[in-house]
């Protein structure tokens, strides 16, 4: 809860924070990229470490007074190396997009060719999409998914790689519900002499727990955010097993793109990595996938069209075309019912990105609250009730009833890190 000091100094912000605490506690968070951090992570994030500038790396700083900060960053690095079984880790990137941009700076020159997954097919903006700096400063070539399966078209990936000879290939993305074939991407990258970057921002927690195959040993460099399934603060990491790549990455992060790291975030990353190394985290990650499969099965039984037909991980992408409603009005109605999702493009979407055909949902946050398969079936039923009612044009009574039922459910499963 908002600290008493904050209430005294800035009651408006304090009240808004309390309102957000209540909102997060009372709603079912189904956004695949969101989670709840522990109270320990929150405390590290809100610590006096925010007072300290630390340009450089442990043992090689440009400011004095780094005796404690060096120990904190070294702890975070060592914990990342152990958890992901890598030789090198950089924990300084401010977030996922700057981390990916550092990869470009480390290995490419402006105008060089990069091969990444197109945004409408599940890729990320920073994999070379046209509105991103990565699509403006580099020659971006994009692959997609097969229309018949909704899965990554590896034949297309290879054909494009052989035709365009990219210097960098990205695998991973932001709306991929299936296992990523890192060995297949690595084989293609070797064939054309490209650096392979695996963006595991969404699945890092699953990879750390052994629930999703690891890109280590296949990708030349790995980028990830530290929130999402890893349950840490809003930060990022870059990892590699190559000494040469590690030098290039470190130079790209600092001084290439950033000044001083956010030391309070670094400490919170270290805490999250420590938590992820505990046995209970593996059980948590396994339950994420079980919950996603249970929720997908419930939606399939109710006639929903799921991209790729289901999920292997934490994420489900729903094409609402056959339900006669767009993703945006569906997501907005679900939000009023206490079911928090995001509208999302689906592969080969005929609608515009700001008014797409689909919604994206995920199970990391509800799993953090302790919900299991029975709750997933109930959530699937609620989603269907609301969307069906909205499509018929008479939804407010249904939304109000579901909102009350959601509040009853969330009261039984307290949100981690939030004390009301």
Active-site annotation holder among 29, 126, 167, 199: 199
Active-site annotation holder among 52, 234, 336, 401: 234
Residue 53 is a catalytic residue: yes
Q: What are phi and psi of 129, to 5 degrees?
A: -70, 150
Q: Which pair of structure tokens corresponds to residue 228?
A: 């999402």
CA distance 213 to 219: 12
Residue 94 is a catalytic residue: no
Residue 340 is a catalytic residue: no
Which of 270, 273, 295, 325 minimizes the C-alpha distance to 84? 273
Active-site annotation holder among 126, 225, 266, 367: 225
Give me the long-range contacts of 368-371 (CB less than 8 A, separation at least 24). Answer: 368/35, 368/36, 368/231, 368/284, 368/415, 368/416, 369/36, 369/410, 369/413, 369/414, 369/415, 369/416, 370/413, 371/291, 371/413
Vertex 408 angle, CA 402 and 413, to 5°: 120
Active-site annotation holder among 79, 228, 323, 328: 228
DSSP 8-state secondary structure symbol assigned to residue 229: G
Residue 408 is a catalytic residue: no
- Whether 244 has a binding-site annotation, put simply, is yes
Residue 228 is a catalytic residue: yes
Residue 60 is a catalytic residue: no
CA distance 257 to 238: 14
DSSP labels, 10-75: -HHHHHHHHHHHHHHHHSEE--TT-----HHHHHHHTSGGGG----EETTEESSS--HHHHHHHHH
Q: Which residues pair with 339 in a beta bridge?
A: 28
Q: Return all residues near 404 (Cβ < 8 A) that are at least 6 apart.
A: none
Active-site annotation holder among 21, 26, 53, 335: 53
CA distance 105 to 100: 9
Q: Which residues pair with 315 in a beta bridge?
A: 362
CA distance 91 to 99: 10
DSSP labels, 168-183: EEEE--SS--S---HH
**Beta pairing, strands 195-199 & 221-225:** parallel
In whole angstroms, what separates CA 178 from the centre of its chain? 14
- Whether 125 has a binding-site annotation, put simply, is yes
Neighbours of 138 (CB within 10 A): 22
The three-state secondary structure class of 313 is coil
List residues with catalytic annotation.
53, 55, 199, 225, 228, 234
Annotated binding residues, written as ranges, equal: 119, 123-125, 244
Annotated binding site for (6S)-5,6,7,8-tetrahydrofolate: 119, 123-125, 244
């Amino acid at each position: 809860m908002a600290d008493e000091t904050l209430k005294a100094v800035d009651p408006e912000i304090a009240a808004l924070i309390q309102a957000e605490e209540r909102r997060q506690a009372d709603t079912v968070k189904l956004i695949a990229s969101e989670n709840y951090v522990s109270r320990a992570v929150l405390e590290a994030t809100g610590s006096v470490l925010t007072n300290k500038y630390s340009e450089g790396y442990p043992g090689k700083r440009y400011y004095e007074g780094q005796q404690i900060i060096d120990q904190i960053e070294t702890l975070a690095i060592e914990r990342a190396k152990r958890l992901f079984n890598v030789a090198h880790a950089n924990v300084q990137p401010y977030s996922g997009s700057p981390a990916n941009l550092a990869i470009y700076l480390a290995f490419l020159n402006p105008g060089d060719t990069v091969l990444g997954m197109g945004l409408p097919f599940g890729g990320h903006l920073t994999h070379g999409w046209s509105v991103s700096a990565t699509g403006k400063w580099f020659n971006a070539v994009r692959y997609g998914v097969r229309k018949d399966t909704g899965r990554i078209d590896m034949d297309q990936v290879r054909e494009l790689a052989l035709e365009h000879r990219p210097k960098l290939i990205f695998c991973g993305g932001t709306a991929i519900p299936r296992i990523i074939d890192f060995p297949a991407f690595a084989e293609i990258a070797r064939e054309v002499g490209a650096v392979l970057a695996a963006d595991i921002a969404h699945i890092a927690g699953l990879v750390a727990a052994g629930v999703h195959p690891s890109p280590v040993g296949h990708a030349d460099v790995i980028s990830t955010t530290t929130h999402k399934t890893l349950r840490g603060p809003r930060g990022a990491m870059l990892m590699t097993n190559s000494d040469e790549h590690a030098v290039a990455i470190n130079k790209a992060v600092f001084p290439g793109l950033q000044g001083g790291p956010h030391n309070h975030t670094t400490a919170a990353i270290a805490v999250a990595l420590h938590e992820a190394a505990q046995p209970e985290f593996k059980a948590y990650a396994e339950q994420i996938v079980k919950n996603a499969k249970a929720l997908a099965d419930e939606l399939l039984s109710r006639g929903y069209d799921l991209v790729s037909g289901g999920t292997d991980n934490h994420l489900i992408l729903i094409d609402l075309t056959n339900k006669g409603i767009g993703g945006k009005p569906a997501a907005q109605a679900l939000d009023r019912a206490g079911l928090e999702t995001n509208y999302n493009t689906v592969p080969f979407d005929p609608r515009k990105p700001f008014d797409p055909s689909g919604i994206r949902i995920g199970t990391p946050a509800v799993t953090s609250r302790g919900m299991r398969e029975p709750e997933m079936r109930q959530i699937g039923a609620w989603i269907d009730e609301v969307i069906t009612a909205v499509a018929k044009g008479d939804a407010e009574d249904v939304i109000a009833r579901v909102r009350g039922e959601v509040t009853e459910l969330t009261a039984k499963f307290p949100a981690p890190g939030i004390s009301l």
